[in-house]
Amino acid sequence: MYRSPYGPYGPDAPSGLAVEAYGMVKRYGEHTALDGVDLAVREGAVLGVLGPNGAGKTTLVRILSTLARADGGTARVGGFNVRDQPDEVRRAIGVTGQYASVDEQLSGFENLYMIGRLLDMSRRKARIRATDLLERFSLTEAAARRVGTYSGGMRRRLDLAAGMVGRPQVLFLDEPTTGLDPHTRNEVWDEVAALAREGTAVLLTTQYMEEAERLADELTVIDHGRVIARGSIDELKAQVGTDTLQIRPLHPADLAPMLSCLHTAGIGGAWIDEDEGQIVVTAADEKQLSGVLRALGTAGFDVSALTAHRPSLDDVFLVLTGHEEGNAHQRPYEYQEPDPYQEPGPFLDPQEDAAVPPAPSPRPPRRTPAAHLRHTGTLVRRNLLHMKADPSSLLDSVLMPAMFTVLFVYVFGGAIAGSRGDYIQYMIPGLLGILSLMLATSVSTGMNTDFRTGLMDRFRTMPISPMSVLAARLISETVRSLLSLSVLLNFGMVLGLRVLSGPLTVLAMDGLIVLFGMAMVWVSVLVGMTMRSAQAAQALSGVVAVPLQFGSSIFAPVSTMPDWLVSFTHYNPLSALADACRELINAKPAGESMLTVLLWSCGLTVVAAPLAMARFRRRT
Ligand SMILES: Nc1ncnc2c1ncn2[C@@H]1O[C@H](COP(=O)(O)OP(=O)(O)OP(=O)(O)O)[C@@H](O)[C@H]1O
Ligand SMILES: [Mg+2]
């Protein structure tokens, strides 16, 4: 027999397991959220992970779904190691986290369709699957409506549907029905059960015993980051207490004769509950219960009430965790892990005949460039749909440049360069450089919003490259900044700007702005992901962007500035960009400033891009 050094269920043992986790540890500073959790979900089975608030359920789901990294232990999902093969794991899973992570700006249909496309379904398949899931979760009527207008329960249902789009091999559901009404809860249960019947293994965390009873084949109870009990529902109930039968005689005087009748019939565990005026029989099994009824019937006793009581999972939960209303007090029950070689764990099949370790699971094919393009295209479409759903968000791309032009031309126009006409020719081309900063800011704001709404977590549990997410942002925001650019140029021309160069030169200028903008995107993405809040990121961007803009040659020539500012302005990359734009529009030689912009763009990208990507991929 194959013997793993870890015991029969160790990390290299053969298994029919969809999820297996051994000794998972997760610390947050001093606090230990998971303290050596082992669990397993058989293929096609539903494991309920039960635990009070703060037990570590969400932490566990985040680790198993590749969002967080464990500090200890190993885990395999779908046969792949969650730490070393996150991409493979992501292909096998669907996730619905504790908090809804859907795109509020898109409709319900567009959300599910987008996920289908990101999971490499054809357009037709994605459409059919989205329609089908909306139907199953009673969202058909709201399918075309923006999710922002959905009720909490509708959003939750959509989020659950989103986790199921790819018919995953393993589905993680973190408290799937919290906050749902009883009818909706039943609907969700039906869907989860249906998916499990189709062969999906489900790991479901819950605080509802009814949910666990309804769905779970096996349970693992955790508390304070440790497993305190596991087994089938019946096994857990048996650990807590047995079934009881309460018999109330029609005539109270019959109590004592009834008890002796039961004793005569050889039924043990019966006693008189004087307070309630009834006989209580603690019965180990159904056979014993029917023996009781037969004995009393034969003796001809009249009975006024008969109640059978099975311990509920609520009883189990309370006894095991010693919690009431989430308050921890003494733990009355100590769970003892069975010796793996003596007694098979209740949730694992012993692999008696397995003589060799399993063949490693086949690696799924690598993503092709075409797949990356498709993902990026899908996400660009999503961002453009945002603009369509909320056209007022485009106002600042249009109004800001127009306002800037008018204000600067009329406020500073005459004062700075002697004549307004000269100033227009000087300032407006320089102003184009600012668009690169606007591009960077809008990309990082968009990314930040996706992080905050949890949508980024959904993307990060899917088999798509983070580059696709970023590239899509970049492309759609570039579209937006090209819109601003054309407003600025056209508006400038209305005010008297003369574009002396040809269309090709203008195109080269666009390219330069976007290139420098992209370099700044890396910087601002890095800032956006490093700062704790969107406000902090915005504040920092402001602190950087304002001196960069005003301490440049955008609004006034460097020669007019005091000495202490000159060197800053001279080396400020925005000066080079403004100069380049100015020279290009005025048909002057622009080689030197263009080269400077190129060098700055490359330099910033080389430094900031790897840092930003590492930050993006990091799992905490
Ligand atoms: N990012 C974090 N930083 C610090 N502590 C954290 C972090 N995430 C979780 N914790 C802590 O880890 C413990 C487990 O949290 P977790 O969210 O996993 O609990 P849970 O079982 O999902 O609870 P609930 O039922 O309330 O959702 C908690 O004490 C929590 O405060
Ligand atoms: Mg939780």
Closest Cα to residue 555, out of 420, 431, 402?
431
Locate 536 and state its tokens: 């902090």
- Tell me the C-alpha distance between 215 and 190, whole Å: 9
In angstroms, rounded to a whole number, what is the distance separating the alpha carbons of residues 620 and 237?
A: 37
Asked if residue 28 has its Cβ within 6 Å of ligand 1, the reply is yes
CA 157 / ligand 2 centre spacing (Å): 18
| Angle at which helices 534-550 and 434-452 cross, to 10° | 180
Q: Which residues pair with 229 in a beta bridge?
A: 221
Q: Which atom of ligand 1 sits closest to the CA of residue 59?
A: 18
Please tell me if the CB atom of residue 321 comes closer than 6 angstroms to any atom of ligand 1. Answer: no
The reply to whether ligand 1 has any atom less than 6 angstroms from the CB of 239 is: no
Asked if residue 67 has its Cβ within 6 Å of ligand 1, the reply is no
DSSP helix/strand/coil, 246: strand
pTM: 0.80
Mutate which of 30, 39, 57, 175 for ligand 1? The one with the most ligand atoms within 8 Å of its CB, which is: 57
Hey, which CATH number is domain 2-238+321-337, 3.40.50.300, 3.50.30.60, 3.40.640.10, 3.40.50.2300?
A: 3.40.50.300
CATH topology of domain 242-310: Alpha-Beta Plaits (3.30.70)
| 289, 315 Cβ separation under 8 angstroms | no
The Cα 532–Cα 465 span in angstroms is 24
**Of residues 58, 96, 63, the one with CA closest to residue 77:** 63
The tokens of 460 are what?
């990060």
**Structure tokens belonging to residue 265:** 């019939």
- Which residues, including other chains, have CB under 8 Å from residue 412's CB and lie 6 or more apart? 423, 427, 555, 556
**What is the identity of the amino acid at 107?**
S
**Spatial distance between the Cα atoms of 413 and 302, rounded to a whole number of angstroms:** 106
Largest CA distance in the chain: 119
**Cα of 60 from ligand 1 centre, angstroms:** 9
CA of 340 to the centre of ligand 2 (A): 30
Return d(Cα 236, Cα 229) in angstroms, integer.
8
Three-state SS string across 148-188, please? Answer: HHCCHHHHHHHHHHHHHCCCCCEEEEECCCCCCCHHHHHHH
- Evaluate whether 160 touches 137 at the Cβ level (below 8 Å): yes
* Residue of 25, 27, 28 to mutate, ligand 1, most atoms within 8 A of C-beta: 28
Asked if 104 and 146 count as a contact pair (C-beta separation under 8 A), the reply is: yes
413 lines ligand 1 (CB under 6 A): no
Domain boundaries defined on the chain:
2-238+321-337, 242-310, 391-619
Q: Tell me the CA–centroid distance for residue 209 and ligand 2, in Å.
A: 16
Task: Give the Cα separation of 307 and 329 in Å (integer).
Answer: 32
Strands 72-77 and 80-81: antiparallel
CA of 303 to the centre of ligand 1 (A): 52
User: For residue 481, which amino acid is it?
Assistant: S
- Rounded to whole angstroms, the Cα distance separating 334 from 89 reads 34
33 lines ligand 1 (CB under 6 A): yes
CB distance 51 to ligand 1 below 6 Å: yes
Alpha-carbon distance of 107 to 226, in angstroms, equals 41
User: Average pLDDT of each block of 10 consecutive residues along the chain (620 residues)?
Assistant: 42 70 94 93 92 92 94 93 92 90 94 96 96 94 95 92 94 91 89 90 90 90 90 79 80 90 84 86 72 86 82 70 46 46 40 40 67 94 89 80 80 64 82 85 83 89 89 88 86 85 86 90 80 74 82 83 84 91 88 93 92 75
Is 57 near ligand 1, meaning CB less than 6 Å away?
yes
> Judging by DSSP bridges, how do beta strands 46-50 and 201-206 pair with one another?
parallel
Could you tell me the distance, in angstroms and rounded to a whole number, from the CA of residue 62 to the centre of ligand 2? 10
The one-letter amino acid at 519: A
Assigned token pair, 111: 């959300």
Burial class (CB in 10 A: 0-12, 13-18, 19+), 38: buried
User: How far is the C-alpha of 590 from the C-alpha of 41, rounded, in Å?
Assistant: 65
What is the whole-number distance in angstroms between the Cα of residue 59 and the centre of ligand 1? 6
Distance from Cα 58 to the centre of ligand 1, integer Å? 7
Q: Does the Cβ of 58 fall within 6 Å of ligand 1?
A: yes
**Minimal-distance CA residue to ligand 1 atom 24:** 53
CB of 211 within 8 A of CB of 174? no
pLDDT at 4: 39
Question: Does ligand 1 lie within 6 Å of residue 54's CB atom?
Answer: yes
CA of 97 to the centre of ligand 2 (A): 8
Q: Is 98 in the pocket of ligand 1 (CB under 6 A)?
A: yes
CA neighbor of 474 nearest in space, from 516, 535, 431, 530:
516
Of ligand 1's atoms, which has the minimum distance to the CA of residue 207?
25
Cα 156 to ligand 1 centroid, rounded to whole Å: 20
Mutation to probe ligand 1, out of 26, 31, 98 (largest number of atoms < 8 A from CB): 31
64 CA to centre of ligand 2 in angstroms: 14
Closest residue by Cα to atom 25, ligand 1, is 53
Q: How close is the Cα of 412 to the center of ligand 2, in Å? A: 57
Provide the angle, in degrees to the nearest 10, between the axes of the packed helices 108-118 and 369-389.
Answer: 170
Distance 183 CA to ligand 1 centre (A): 29
Neighbours of ion ligand 2 (CB under 5 A): 57-58, 98
End-to-end CA distance of the chain: give it in Å, rounded.
39
Choice from 50, 58, 60 to test ligand 1 binding pocket (greatest atom count within 8 A of CB) = 58
Q: Which two tokens stand for residue 414?
A: 């005459």
Closest residue CA from atom 29 of ligand 1: 54
Atom index in ligand 1 nearest the CA of residue 55 equals 21
Contacts of 102 (CB under 8 A, 6+ apart): 111, 147, 155, 158, 159, 162, 455, 458
Spatial separation of the C-alpha atoms in residues 148 and 559, rounded to whole Å: 52
Q: Are 449 and 534 in contact, with CB atoms under 8 Å apart? A: yes
